[in-house]
Structure 1
Amino acid sequence: MKRILLLLAFLVFLVSQGFSQDILVTNAHIVTMDGEEVLENHAIYVENGQIKRIIPLNARTPRMTAERVIDANGAYVFPGLAEFHAHLPVANDGSTQLQEESMWLYLANGVLRIRSMLGHPTHLDLRRRVNSGVIDGPRVFISGPSFNGNSVSSPSQAVEMVNQQKADGFDHLKIHPGVKLDEMMAISKAAKAAEIPFGGHVPLEVGLENALASGYKSVEHIDGYLEALLPDDVIIDPTTSGPFNLKLVGMVEMDKLPGLIDQTLDEGTYIAPTLTLFDRYFGYIPADEFSQAPEMKYLPGSLIYQWVTSKKQLERSGVLSKENVEPYLQFREKLFMQLHQSGVPMIMASDSPQVFNVPGFSIHHEIKLMADAGMSNYEILKTGSIEPAKYMGKEEEWGKIKEGMAADFVMVAENPLENLKTMQDPLYVVIRGKVFDRERLQSELKKIEINHQRK
């Protein structure tokens, strides 16, 4: 019995360590993200989930070994990507299948960290299981349940919500439309006292300038900037202005933007642009076209049907005509680049799984749209590595490939600073010092596909 108990204790220890191995990656080119320089022909030695040594390989390099040796054969290693506007499934019925599948969808696409932006108590247990190594997945940061016009009834009640979410262990607060200005100020004061970041949509009654002044850590979807650029005498009627007020884009006054950019920079606010959400949900490409995308096979058919139905309702109403949508998407692209070029920090975000944005896969759609807008490959990679680490105050722990940092990285065939598409097909993913090769990642994807085969 004593031996059995000792064995069980050892197995629990292994699980808590995520079966982390000492790893030696050789013959790799390293995109450190500590500047744009690539360290060619180097080795990475990992111990206890941490990068211990980064070693140039030459004739004088001593012989090295480890429990797991990976010959990169000239492949490229980079810190992996982020999804900093995710919506994790809820395990209301006790089934965690969709949550666990989401974890693999992210890993298989080289996404090593996520910020879930609509929290639920079951997400806290998911984070615990991932962080303890019970299940595999990216690093998870969880926002609490939404602060909105239905959940917030007064400033004092809003303060209670802040303190309860902090006590429950959530990492972030999520703001939605409907919050009044006095309630927002109360949330701000309480959140700062509790040292928990907050951000989200910009409620109309609050407005962008007040939201920034309150201490918004992030503005989601670039939401609020369009409204802030409208003439002061415009009264917004959400029942006629279209989704995200897209029909009002022709009225914006761009001469207001420099002042808003200055305030955004002064407050240190980040932007989660979610370009792909607007391209796919509120764009003019038909729902039926997106519903046939290859990655839809990894989600339940009932969810895809809901997405098709939702978008087709907008299509039938005429609001998603090319005449309405094209100027709006062009405005968002221009605004995105002006904010970026002015130095406003961007965090990689695609709003998955939302309409036609499948976890993991949607990040690559977001990357393409950022590139199409004019952002450089290096700056795109920053939005998925350095900036999310800074956002969470973890820039000394992850976000770069550097000695002393977490052993979280992805290996791909080509240099992502030159070819962004190479990141769509990871050769290896290493998270917390645990290795997943391409065969394992593809195997997990196949299991998910089988789970959701259409009948």
Structure 2
Amino acid sequence: MRYYVISLLLIFYSAFAVEAQDLLVTNVHVISMENDQVLKDQALYISEGKIQKIIPLTAQTPRMSADQVIDGNGAYIFPGLAEFHAHLPVANDGSTQLQEESMWLYLANGVLRIRSMLGHPSHLELKRMVQSGETEGPRVYIAGPSFNGNSVSSPEQAAQMVIDQKKAGYDHLKIHPGVELDEMWEIAKTAKEENIPFGGHVPLAVGIENALGSGFKSVEHMDGYLEGLLPDDLEIDPTTSGPFNLKLADQVLMEKLPDLIVKTLQQGTYIAPTLTLFDRYFGYIPADEFRLAPEMKYLPGPLIQQWVNTKKQLERAGMLDREFVAPYLAFRNRLFMELHRAGVPMIMASDSPQVFNVPGFSIHHEIELMSEAGMSNYEILKTGSVEPAKYMNAEANWGMIKEGMSADFVMVKENPLENLKTMQKPLGLAIGGKWITGEKLQEELDRIEKNHERK
């Protein structure tokens, strides 16, 4: 009876595939992310960009065929990763080269979704090109231009910015330092009316409690929590407290954290921790060490030198001395795990390309740091799949490997629930049902490296 049912399914799908290209991925183990179990020995039938059927392979399973057949030879597939704090390059002078290269850098590292957090009109065009298939790349969500002390001049003007960005087609609003509290309330009110999420940094004049109360959907970099844990009578002097007030970490009162956690959970706010940004940009490891990292070859030399100069300026000012930075990074790791263990949802984010964080590659640095902080492999994968999909209210469409969902997944040699490093070298991937081989990914990496060959 089982053979008969599967045969009927295959006849149906074969007929269905006459009008559209279909894909069969067979002999794979599936990490669906519905739970932490592995579905052993499966085949996926894909048509019209969706997973139509997941079929267990047994001695009774009949021979299957499709327009394109990929034999996984016992490899593992998972839903792919998200980079939910990216900064896409701007198309300068009409050149989209760096944008298109970034798309391939993400794909080559198994990143199938990005949320770009500092928007530009050229990003909207890039999003259109990716959606239409004119450009290969991960699916893109775009935040609009920054709301900050220079761009926002009044509550009324801030509200109009929200309306204009929603009308332009942006998916998200980005808050930066400098926004005043009355402006923040108006941004929040208008954003809710326009049905567009907002989040970002926590301006000092707003504070973490008001940021949460206003409806921040995401707090980037865990910003604002340190300030919310300081003694109430402490006055912050930004000229001496260091980047993100890191020199004040020794004055944090952790007993204030449970109340902030309750407020975070009540609001349903997500955290984009960007651990690698603080390890590489604001950490005590010297700039000259990071400039030699192998993935720097995929970006223009002048950009790498700019990053070196930026970090060295902080080093010369004594802002990144180990005596200040080590306690701060330890605090951030503790904060990260306290929030996570309490159930605050985390979204995978590395702030790429940003100082020494190369698109795609930086996500694996983020994964390593999350693991070192104490997060399990399964929970790490959730931050890059299930949670970002929930964040965008798209959990019915992507984030897991399930029948009816978009055919977006990455194939790797080993089980990432046991070995996170296996995700650094995809054997191939499907995005929207289109299969891209590992060889093609490597070809693109080689091409990009040649484009930026140091002379």
TM range, smaller chain: over 0.9
- 1:301 matched to which residue of 2? 301
CA distance in 2, matches of 1:318, 1:141: 37
Structure 1: give runs of 5+ residues left out of the alignment.
Answer: 1-16
The answer on whether the counterparts of 1:21 and 1:49 sit within 8 Å (CA) in structure 2 is: no
Does the alignment pair 1:105 with 2:102?
no
CA offset digits 1:235-269 (Å, max 9, x no partner): 11111100000000111111110000000000000
- 1:239 matched to which residue of 2? 239
SS of residue paired to 2:36: strand
Letter in 1 for 2:265: L
CA distance in 1, matches of 2:236, 2:343: 30
Q: Residue 60 of structure 1: CA displacement?
A: 1.5
Q: Percent identity?
A: 73
- 1:14 matched to which residue of 2? none
The answer on whether the counterparts of 1:25 and 1:72 sit within 8 Å (CA) in structure 2 is: yes
Instruction: Tell me how large the CA RMSD over aligned residues is.
Output: 0.8
Letter in 2 for 1:161: M
- 1:131 matched to which residue of 2? 131
- 1:339 matched to which residue of 2? 339
- 2:436 matched to which residue of 1? 436
The answer on whether the counterparts of 1:21 and 1:434 sit within 8 Å (CA) in structure 2 is: no
Q: How many residues were matched structurally?
A: 437
- 1:329 matched to which residue of 2? 329
Letter in 2 for 1:324: F
Q: Residue 71 of structure 1: CA displacement?
A: 0.5
The answer on whether the counterparts of 1:213 and 1:267 sit within 8 Å (CA) in structure 2 is: yes
Letter in 1 for 2:227: E
SS of residue paired to 2:38: strand
Q: Residue 21 of structure 1: CA displacement?
A: 3.5
CA distance in 2, matches of 1:315, 1:146: 27
- 1:11 matched to which residue of 2? none
SS of residue paired to 1:289: helix
SS of residue paired to 1:107: helix
- 1:74 matched to which residue of 2? 74
Q: Residue 284 of structure 1: CA displacement?
A: 0.5
CA distance in 1, matches of 2:317, 2:182: 36
Counterpart mapping for 1:255-274 below 5 A: 255-274=255-274
- 1:276 matched to which residue of 2? 276
Does the alignment pair 1:369 with 2:369?
yes
Letter in 2 for 1:58: T
CA distance in 1, matches of 2:329, 2:51: 42
The answer on whether the counterparts of 1:21 and 1:433 sit within 8 Å (CA) in structure 2 is: no
Does the alignment pair 1:404 with 2:392?
no
Does the alignment pair 1:450 with 2:443?
no
Structure 2: give runs of 5+ residues left out of the alignment.
Answer: 1-18
CA distance in 1, matches of 2:454, 2:369: 30
SS of residue paired to 2:93: coil
CA offset digits 1:337-372 (Å, max 9, x no partner): 000000000000000000000000000000000000
Letter in 2 for 1:268: G
The answer on whether the counterparts of 1:347 and 1:383 sit within 8 Å (CA) in structure 2 is: yes
CA distance in 1, matches of 2:365, 2:256: 30
Letter in 1 for 2:162: V
SS of residue paired to 2:187: helix
Counterpart mapping for 1:174-185 below 5 A: 174-185=174-185
Counterpart mapping for 1:162-201 below 5 A: 162-201=162-201
- 1:394 matched to which residue of 2? 394
CA distance in 1, matches of 2:348, 2:21: 30
CA distance in 2, matches of 1:268, 1:62: 47
- 1:43 matched to which residue of 2? 43
- 2:117 matched to which residue of 1? 117
CA distance in 2, matches of 1:315, 1:149: 27
CA distance in 2, matches of 1:312, 1:92: 27
CA distance in 2, matches of 1:436, 1:361: 18
Letter in 1 for 2:303: L
Letter in 2 for 1:389: A
- 1:318 matched to which residue of 2? 318
CA distance in 1, matches of 2:21, 2:62: 21
CA distance in 2, matches of 1:39, 1:318: 52
Runs of 4+ in 1 over 6 A off after TM superposition: none
Q: Residue 62 of structure 1: CA displacement?
A: 2.2
